[in-house]
Structure 1
Amino acid sequence: MKCAIYKSHKRANTYLYVSAGHDLARVPKALLDMLGRIELVMTLELTPQRTLAHADPAEVRRALQEQGYFLQLPPADFPVTPS
């Protein structure tokens, strides 16, 4: 499964994964408004063997299939400050 990953410039260490090809079409407008300006940081093939630094790949794949996006929030021990 190919996905695109965007970072939020409004919320530090917050990333939005979307199904490539569908891009932002299935992401709720309220969520996009909350994230502010977003920037594409990479696209990747999300295979069962793929590891991710701060998200469970199986959970990301499931969310992409069911709702078309996955929101990765900062780790709980990471201080959240606006960027």
Structure 2
Amino acid sequence: MHCDIYRSSKKDEMYLYVATPAQENTDPFEIIPEAVRQAFGKPTFVMHLELHEQRKLARVNVLHVMDSLQTKGFFMQMPPEGLINPNAVEPEGLRGA
């Protein structure tokens, strides 16, 4: 399965995997819902990728991506959530350090 990956202009580390269209002159973004396009912003091409069950992806399960590409025609990879909550209460031992 082949797809193209695009980077979002609105949010760092947000990527859109789009199934490669069967016909060459087809707009790959015509299948993307308008609300998703608005949230994603201007897509910047990153790379073309061939997906298969044994392929490892850095942040997402390849089988999940492949399933989404087959059913919806696209997969949106969201930015990773921060490991540190800036609003969390500091542990007792670190206050005033």
- Could you say which TM-score interval applies, normalised by the shorter chain? 0.7 to 0.9
Matches of residues 1-83 of structure 1 in structure 2 within 5 Å?
Answer: 1-21=1-21, 23-77=28-82
Alignment: residue pair count: 79
Q: Which runs of 4+ in 1 moved over 2 A?
A: none
Letter in 2 for 1:46: L
CA deviations over 1:24-68 (Å, ceiling 9, x no partner): 121101111111111010011001111110111000000000001
Name the % identity.
Answer: 38
Inter-CA distance 56–29: structure 2 relative to 1 (3 Å threshold):
same
- Please report the TM-score for the alignment, with normalisation by the length of structure 1: 0.87
- Normalising to structure 2: TM-score of the pair? 0.76
Task: Tell me which amino acid in the other structure corresponds to 1:45.
Answer: E
What is the rounded CA distance, in whole Å, between the counterparts of 1:30 and 1:2 in structure 2? 24
Could you say which structure has the higher strand fraction?
1
Choose 1 or 2 for highest CA Rg.
Answer: 2
Q: Return the alpha-carbon distance in structure 2 between the equivalents of residues 20 and 72 of structure 1.
A: 17
Gaps of 5+ in 1: none
CA RMSD in angstroms, aligned pairs only: 1.6
Query: Gaps spanning 5+ residues in structure 2: where?
Result: 23-27, 85-97
Instruction: Quote the offset at 1:9 in angstroms.
Output: 1.3
